[in-house]
A and B are shown apart, each in its own frame.
Chain A
């Protein structure tokens, strides 16, 4: 059965990890913001900007890791803007986030067009290359399936573990979670909710920027407008799916990527009998289904989307 044979190809599993990487970064970033009580709908634009800024840095001679760092810093700056508007001023997190997305994405297109004039073929860079892990990469099937990724992919997986540890086993993580559940109680415990939220949003947004940059620095080698294709919104859905837990976020992103990688291959297997658009819809519909399934079960951080102002209830 051809449709099941797809699962037996190492290429599928390699693609799963590759597709999952930006989603892992983005989901962890959004999760961190929301754990502190702030929804960050700027994610789609921040990922776009990260993709552009990281690529542009490398195009202008920076090292690939420097490109990721630039993307992270740009992400953190947009996070700072989001924090200033939603934490200090306490503005609507929905509308501010959308505003940041529109601003960050249009600014990326503007800067990209300004610096890179229109040419026949878009300019490219040399992206991250797969790392050869002695011993593991040479294993039959498992080697090509799991151990032929680029460095940022392993970084993303490690990050999920680190973030899980920090959130649930360190005082810092406790402060973040407490701020997301009840900022008044956090304040009474000597935690400054404002500082915590600024930190969480900036760090989370930095991760979103890196997630975007993975696309231009590893998955592809050039930048083009609308390349994020709703991945940010998918991440927001994955956060709900994960019940705000990094380990489940990792699982969710991988599961999602599995469906995505599978539908891509199914598309070629089935051929023209089924319109390809139906396959492309699957990831978005999957996200909606995941939201519906988890909506009632998920334990939302209690102070999510509530502005915190001292002396106001």
Chain B
């Protein structure tokens, strides 16, 4: 048995691969649930009810999906150009803390229609800076950005921790380490009354569409793809490699920073060091499940968010640790990689 490269990738298979990957991941997790002695189908039923079963559950899933769309896009645009940004988690936190720093007082006098976009931009720029550093090290010294972005995640969270126990500490938080809250004019309007769902979701979807158009229709989109597929060929064909990668990093880091900004302005109002339950890392999975397609990111983020939101309810009902959601989502990344492999190769005897 060996593998033979297909002459071309069957489109149906490419489109079906995320579904196949998710089903396979659910099957393997199902075996784990069965091993734990719990009814598998009922567990998945509980997850479905917990994430889509009521209006409240559904808005909660959408709220959870919002940052994942941003971080998923951040990973997707970067990976497409072979910029291995694994630092979305750190960029998320720096974007968040930048918003807290500026949104508490500096922008408090502005009308909301001005303050909100301005703060989003500030969060995005903060995220950009965090990614430009490791990219600069790659371009200048040839340092692999995978490891540097990963290491910077820890630095970023410690930096945030330092600020919220120091200069940005909320004096009214009874000693809890949390940042000063952003002013009321920086709080994102709700999409649906009496839910946590905010306009950040609409922003995320709009940006996904914009990213798709940019990637599909602009010179930059073509250049970033070429830089990812074959950097040497791209350079030979006249693609300015360094500046393309810098633009990609600005976009990717900016999106991750924006994720943090929107989460602060939309959900919490202030920053703590547990603001993100791994949104940055989950974003990588979202991007891979979407096969790096910006519109696909929305669907993949929805699946991932549903697993996480649904698993909490399932855990309470059946007593299986909610970490099963993390397991399933991580597995779906691996199964997706295998599924994508078989869109390119076939087995021959």
Provide the bound-state CA to CA distance between A1 and B103, in Å: 44
Q: Answer whether A106 and B158 are a contact pair too, CB < 8 Å, given A96-B334, A287-B151, A288-B152.
A: no
Q: Answer whether A110 and B141 are a contact pair too, CB < 8 Å, given A277-B159, A284-B152, A291-B148.
A: no
Instruction: Pick the interface stretch among B206-214, B235-243, B323-331.
Output: B323-331
Can you name 11 A-B pairs with beta carbons within 8 Å?
A: A91-B341, A99-B285, A99-B333, A100-B334, A107-B330, A109-B321, A114-B36, A233-B147, A284-B155, A291-B144, A292-B143
Q: Are B137 and A95 interface neighbours, CB within 8 A?
A: no
Q: Which of A85, A106, A295 contacts B337 (CB 8 A)?
A: A85
Q: Are B151 and A280 interface neighbours, CB within 8 A?
A: no
A41 within 8 A of B: yes
Q: Which chain A residue lies CB-closest to B2?
A: A310
Q: Are A292 and B165 interface neighbours, CB within 8 A?
A: no
Q: Are B331 and A103 interface neighbours, CB within 8 A?
A: yes
B162 within 8 A of A: yes
- Nearest CB in chain A: distance from B65 CB, A: 18
Given contact pairs A107-B327, A291-B148, a sample of 12 additional A-B residue pairs in the complex whose CB atoms are under 8 Å apart? A89-B337, A94-B84, A95-B284, A95-B288, A99-B330, A237-B147, A278-B158, A281-B154, A284-B152, A284-B155, A288-B143, A295-B141
- Which chain A residues numbered 39 to 86 have a C-beta less than 8 Å away from chain B? 41, 81, 85
Provide the bound-state CA to CA distance between A128 and B219, in Å: 61
Task: Classify the interface of chain B: helix, strand, loop or mixed.
Answer: helix
Provide the bound-state CA to CA distance between A106 and B337, in Å: 18
B275 within 8 A of A: no
Q: Answer whether A41 and B341 are a contact pair too, CB < 8 Å, given A106-B323, A277-B161.
A: no
- Residue tally, chain B, CB below 8 Å to A: 46
Q: Are A275 and B162 interface neighbours, CB within 8 A?
A: yes
- Nearest CB in chain B: distance from A292 CB, A: 5
- Which chain B residues numbered 291 to 346 have a C-beta less than 8 Å away from chain A? 320-321, 323-324, 326-327, 329-331, 333-334, 337-338, 341
Q: Which chain B residue lies CB-closest to A225?
A: B323
Query: A residues bordering B, Cβ < 8 Å?
Result: 41, 81, 85, 89-92, 94-96, 98-100, 102-103, 106-107, 109-110, 113-114, 229-230, 233-234, 236-237, 240, 275, 277-278, 280-281, 284-285, 287-288, 291-292, 295-296, 309-310, 312
- Nearest CB in chain B: distance from A80 CB, A: 13
Q: Are B326 and A109 interface neighbours, CB within 8 A?
A: yes
Most chain A beta carbons < 10 A, residue from B84, B144, B285 = B144
B3 within 8 A of A: yes
B327 partner residues in chain A, CB cutoff 8 A: 103, 106-107, 110
A291 partner residues in chain B, CB cutoff 8 A: 137, 143-144, 147-148
Q: Are A98 and B141 interface neighbours, CB within 8 A?
A: no
Q: Are B152 and A277 interface neighbours, CB within 8 A?
A: no
Q: Answer whether A110 and B324 are a contact pair too, CB < 8 Å, given A102-B333, A237-B147, A277-B159.
A: yes
- Nearest CB in chain A: distance from B278 CB, A: 9
Q: Are A110 and B326 interface neighbours, CB within 8 A?
A: yes
B32 within 8 A of A: yes
B14 within 8 A of A: no
Q: Are A285 and B334 interface neighbours, CB within 8 A?
A: no
Most chain A beta carbons < 10 A, residue from B153, B331, B337 = B337
B86 within 8 A of A: yes
B151 partner residues in chain A, CB cutoff 8 A: 230, 233-234, 237, 284-285, 287-288
A90 partner residues in chain B, CB cutoff 8 A: 341
Q: Answer whether A89 and B334 are a contact pair too, CB < 8 Å, given A114-B36, A285-B155.
A: no
B323 partner residues in chain A, CB cutoff 8 A: 106, 109-110, 113
Provide the bound-state CA to CA distance between A110 and B84, in Å: 28
Q: Are B147 and A102 interface neighbours, CB within 8 A?
A: no
